[in-house]
Chain A
Amino acid sequence: MKMKRILAMAISTVMTVTMLAGCGGQGAPADTSGAAGESGAATEASGDASGRPVVTILNSKMEIQEQLEEMAQAYSESHDADLEVYYSSDTIAAHLSTRYAANEPYTLAMVDAKDVYSLAAEHAVDLSSEDWVKDTTEAISVDGKVYGFPVCVEARGIIYNADAIKKITGKDFDPESVKTLDDFSALLDELKAGGMAAPTGIMKEDWSLAAHYLAEVYEQHDDPDAFLQSLHDGSANIIKDDIFNSMMDTFDVLKANNYAAGNAISAEREVTEQKLAEGEIAFMFGGNWDWSVINQYDYSENMGIMPVPQNTSSDANTKLVGGGSKYFFIDSSDNTSEAQVQAAKDFLNWLVYDEEGQKFIVNDCALVPAYSNITLAVSDPLGSSVKAYADKGALIANYNYCPDDHYSKLGAAFQEYLGDKSDREGFAKAIDTYWQDATLTEH
């Protein structure tokens, strides 16, 4: 009897001890294998056994994860730092908040522009004195200090499939020839007469509709802040805005020629991009990031991005909208040591100034570089379109200060318009109401 009790006591004590040890696993050896995946814990130690600094990197561009991992391995072998790449498909801010809550921030985090504005002051290292600052126009500064390192340039417009157009019209497609909506409509009619049943596709995703297409309305204004302020205080209504009406006229044409006209709001992005890649349709509003989807299919060689055609007197129909996309910032908390910060800075410089780093950005990842000193030719067709527009200065800047719920709420309103559940006036009213209630972001 007594033996039994002692045994039971001993077992439960052992269990308690093991459990406590499990909870307090701070001293356990950190995962230094560099394995990808959000479950892998970032190393706690600022250096590994040999004293080399460890740089943990959060990647938020899924399409370059493999390339990053290979590069990290090669870089770690040839440099005095160990790179570890992690990926998360979560909302970036939500994912980072869990890492900060656990006191295990990434040394380098790749985030969107708006995240830099909201996080930099508290969490980022001042990079103003870095060499690359002078070679880019896309770096993000807050209060006069540079915090965000632009990873690449991305821009949006109408993606076209020139091969599909040539097959019907018989002549090479020149995007310059369809700057106005009238010319664009005429071309669409010609395509339809030539046998292409429906020449356009529309992505119904809320981010494409609201954060990309609708946002162009704000961005084409000379002063987007002033325009949104006037919507906010009610002194302007968007229905009376020329740019809005002009963009919506174009949208109506895209919508009328949509291959999924009766089913527009359940059209899947992959299907639309596949049709575009294979030339079943000829036009779709999108950006050079769409290449990572298009290149999954049997794509045509001659594709590109052109400005959204508009009947306008301004030069908006000669420009793409875009700029820096995805930014690295270096963590400034006590969890990141001096050596780690320095190693991270070295890595950023390597990306910009080392031939290997440049090749990595341009050739391996097929990104459009944000640095004027990088002269390598961009390999994918959409990227080279963007580079051509960027080089001649024909990019309208991104507006990065829309509130966080903008894309979701107005995306829903835009979907109603796309699905014929509301008309232009109803949609305009939803936009007015949204901005009147919104809290404008200070910047």
Chain B
Amino acid sequence: MNRNKLSYKVSQYLTFAGPALILFLGTVIIPFVYGLYLTFTSWDGISREKPFVGGDNYVAAFTDTAYWQALGRTMVYSFFAVILINALAFFLAYLVTSGVKGENFFRAGFFVPNLIGGIVLGYVWKFVFNRAFVAVADAITGGSNPSLLSTPGGAMFCLILVSVWQYAGYMMLIYVAGFMSVPDSLKEAAMIDGCTPAQAMKDVTIPLMRASFVQCIFLSITRCFMVYDVNLSLTKGEPFNSSVLAAMHVYNQAFTYKNYGTGQAEALILFVICAIVGVTQVYIGKKGEVGA
């Protein structure tokens, strides 16, 4: 059998990569291209007709102030959530690798929130914010207190808090792996050379964990930009549509307001922005990576 023949190569490729390729095409590429096509139609999501309207949907998306407000809110939300998630996750990872008693128990404990689905988690926290916190505040002040969820700022704060609580445990696991991958000998060598523990952390451990940071920040950025479930169950966009994040606006535009094409165009813009932010971050992060 001639292994350099094209037919041989093709058949080898198809037998091994074929199944994955078909799945990838069928579930990602084809829907994506079809979605792209739908942005040029004024389809309402259910009609048999898909009238071609050219770039109208993009014009509508760019002039949709509610969409840009939602995007702005998503940026603010992501900014705070990403920083807090990673700061907390790193801190937790440090704690559970520093040799405290019951490490594994704590690791599991911090990870559990991530196992609860976003919808359930949203409803649980909604109860906590609306009833539990209010009851405690009422008991302390003796009057009636408004729920955090009833003010625009408060609702955003709640969203960020719940996201941090949800994702910190997951990111912690990646940081734990990062910590474990730094050989003790390097740290010990640094200490013998006169580093304080803080210096050893800053100049030896953290640079060697750069890959973990890049990964965690990438994961948290993309998750925050695309968040929908917690947004839906915790605030549902209320009060007065002031906590509608980008993904929720896209869903409403496409399905509730039945502007499928415009919604799809807005989803595409969200995708592009998210991709640019993610790729830039990974590029910058990778550039300075050091090998151990």
- Residue numbers of A with Cβ under 8 A of B are 9, 12-13, 15-16, 19-20, 23, 91, 93-94, 96-97, 100, 118-119, 122-123, 204, 206, 262-266, 268, 403-405, 408-409, 412-413, 415-416, 419, 421
- Once A12-B15, A97-B46 are accepted as A-B contacts, the answer to whether A419 and B239 lie under 8 Å apart by CB is yes
Are A93 and B258 in contact, with the CB atoms below 8 A? yes
Q: Is B153 an interface residue (CB 8 A)?
A: no
Within 8 A of A (CB), among B253-273: 255-258
Instruction: Among B23, B147, B150, B240, find the residue whose CB has the most chain A CB atoms closer than 10 A.
Output: B240
6 residue pairs A–B, Cβ–Cβ below 8 Å: A9-B15, A16-B19, A20-B22, A100-B46, A118-B258, A268-B130
Are B130 and A91 in contact, with the CB atoms below 8 A? no
A306 to chain B, nearest CB (A): 29
Please indicate the chain B residues that have their CB under 8 angstroms from the CB of A404 in the complex: 256-258
Are B15 and A16 in contact, with the CB atoms below 8 A? yes
- Once A15-B19, A16-B19 are accepted as A-B contacts, the answer to whether A409 and B256 lie under 8 Å apart by CB is no
B35 to chain A, nearest CB (A): 12
Q: Which of A16, A204, A412, A415 contacts B18 (CB 8 A)?
A: A16
Instruction: Among A15, A96, A409, A412, find the residue whose CB has the most chain B CB atoms closer than 10 A.
Output: A412
A122 to chain B, nearest CB (A): 6
Complex alpha-carbon distance, A404 and B45, angstroms: 13
A256 to chain B, nearest CB (A): 16
Smallest CB-CB separation from B14: which chain A residue?
A: A16
A429 to chain B, nearest CB (A): 15
Please indicate the chain B residues that have their CB under 8 angstroms from the CB of A15 in the complex: 19
A258 to chain B, nearest CB (A): 12
- Once A94-B45, A100-B46, A413-B240 are accepted as A-B contacts, the answer to whether A262 and B146 lie under 8 Å apart by CB is yes
Please indicate the chain A residues that have their CB under 8 angstroms from the CB of B149 in the complex: 266
Are A96 and B238 in contact, with the CB atoms below 8 A? no
Q: Is B5 an interface residue (CB 8 A)?
A: no
A198 to chain B, nearest CB (A): 11
Are A19 and B19 in contact, with the CB atoms below 8 A? yes
Complex alpha-carbon distance, A100 and B45, angstroms: 9
- Residue numbers of B with Cβ under 8 A of A are 15-16, 18-19, 22-23, 26, 44-48, 130, 134, 144-147, 149-150, 238-242, 252, 255-258
Are B146 and A408 in contact, with the CB atoms below 8 A? no
A72 to chain B, nearest CB (A): 25
Complex alpha-carbon distance, A415 and B144, angstroms: 20
Are A12 and B19 in contact, with the CB atoms below 8 A? yes
B10 to chain A, nearest CB (A): 14
Smallest CB-CB separation from B146: which chain A residue?
A: A263
Q: Which of B45, B239, B258 contacts A265 (CB 8 A)?
A: B239
B54 to chain A, nearest CB (A): 19
Are B240 and A415 in contact, with the CB atoms below 8 A? yes
Are B45 and A93 in contact, with the CB atoms below 8 A? yes
Smallest CB-CB separation from B253: which chain A residue?
A: A405
Smallest CB-CB separation from B149: which chain A residue?
A: A266
Please indicate the chain B residues that have their CB under 8 angstroms from the CB of A408 in the complex: 241, 252, 256-257
Complex alpha-carbon distance, A413 and B66, angstroms: 13
Instruction: Among A23, A119, A265, A413, find the residue whose CB has the most chain B CB atoms closer than 10 A.
Output: A265
Smallest CB-CB separation from A407: which chain B residue?
A: B256
A128 to chain B, nearest CB (A): 22
Are B46 and A96 in contact, with the CB atoms below 8 A? yes
Complex alpha-carbon distance, A174 and B19, angstroms: 73
Please indicate the chain A residues that have their CB under 8 angstroms from the CB of B146 in the complex: 262-263, 266
Please indicate the chain A residues that have their CB under 8 angstroms from the CB of B15 in the complex: 9, 12-13, 16
Complex alpha-carbon distance, A416 and B150, angstroms: 11
Complex alpha-carbon distance, A262 and B134, angstroms: 12
Are B22 and A412 in contact, with the CB atoms below 8 A? no
Are B240 and A416 in contact, with the CB atoms below 8 A? yes
Complex alpha-carbon distance, A12 and B240, angstroms: 54
Are B19 and A419 in contact, with the CB atoms below 8 A? no
Are B46 and A409 in contact, with the CB atoms below 8 A? no
Closest 10 CB pairs of A and B: A266-B150, A94-B255, A266-B147, A412-B241, A97-B46, A412-B240, A405-B257, A97-B45, A415-B240, A263-B146
Are A405 and B256 in contact, with the CB atoms below 8 A? yes
Smallest CB-CB separation from A10: which chain B residue?
A: B15
Are A93 and B255 in contact, with the CB atoms below 8 A? yes
Are A23 and B26 in contact, with the CB atoms below 8 A? yes
Please indicate the chain A residues that have their CB under 8 angstroms from the CB of B238 in the complex: 204, 206, 265, 415
B70 to chain A, nearest CB (A): 13
Complex alpha-carbon distance, A409 and B256, angstroms: 12
Smallest CB-CB separation from B129: which chain A residue?
A: A266
Smallest CB-CB separation from A121: which chain B residue?
A: B47
A91 to chain B, nearest CB (A): 5
Please indicate the chain B residues that have their CB under 8 angstroms from the CB of A23 in the complex: 26
Complex alpha-carbon distance, A363 and B237, angstroms: 38
Complex alpha-carbon distance, A19 and B45, angstroms: 29
Complex alpha-carbon distance, A404 and B44, angstroms: 11
- Once A9-B15, A408-B252 are accepted as A-B contacts, the answer to whether A19 and B23 lie under 8 Å apart by CB is yes
Are B240 and A263 in contact, with the CB atoms below 8 A? no
A97 to chain B, nearest CB (A): 4
Are B150 and A263 in contact, with the CB atoms below 8 A? yes
Please indicate the chain B residues that have their CB under 8 angstroms from the CB of A206 in the complex: 238
Complex alpha-carbon distance, A264 and B18, angstroms: 58
Smallest CB-CB separation from A406: which chain B residue?
A: B257
Are A415 and B239 in contact, with the CB atoms below 8 A? yes
Please indicate the chain A residues that have their CB under 8 angstroms from the CB of B134 in the complex: 263
Q: Which of B144, B241, B258 contacts A409 (CB 8 A)?
A: B241
Instruction: Add 7 more A-B contacts to A15-B19, A415-B239 (CB < 8 A).
Output: A9-B15, A97-B45, A97-B46, A262-B145, A264-B150, A266-B149, A404-B256
Please indicate the chain A residues that have their CB under 8 angstroms from the CB of B255 in the complex: 91, 93-94, 97
A114 to chain B, nearest CB (A): 10
Please indicate the chain B residues that have their CB under 8 angstroms from the CB of A262 in the complex: 144-146
Please indicate the chain A residues that have their CB under 8 angstroms from the CB of B256 in the complex: 91, 94, 404-405, 408
Smallest CB-CB separation from B144: which chain A residue?
A: A262
Please indicate the chain A residues that have their CB under 8 angstroms from the CB of B26 in the complex: 23
Complex alpha-carbon distance, A96 and B44, angstroms: 12
A260 to chain B, nearest CB (A): 8
Complex alpha-carbon distance, A357 and B51, angstroms: 43
B7 to chain A, nearest CB (A): 15
Please indicate the chain B residues that have their CB under 8 angstroms from the CB of A20 in the complex: 22
Smallest CB-CB separation from A409: which chain B residue?
A: B241
Q: Which of B18, B47, B144, B240 contacts A419 (CB 8 A)?
A: B240
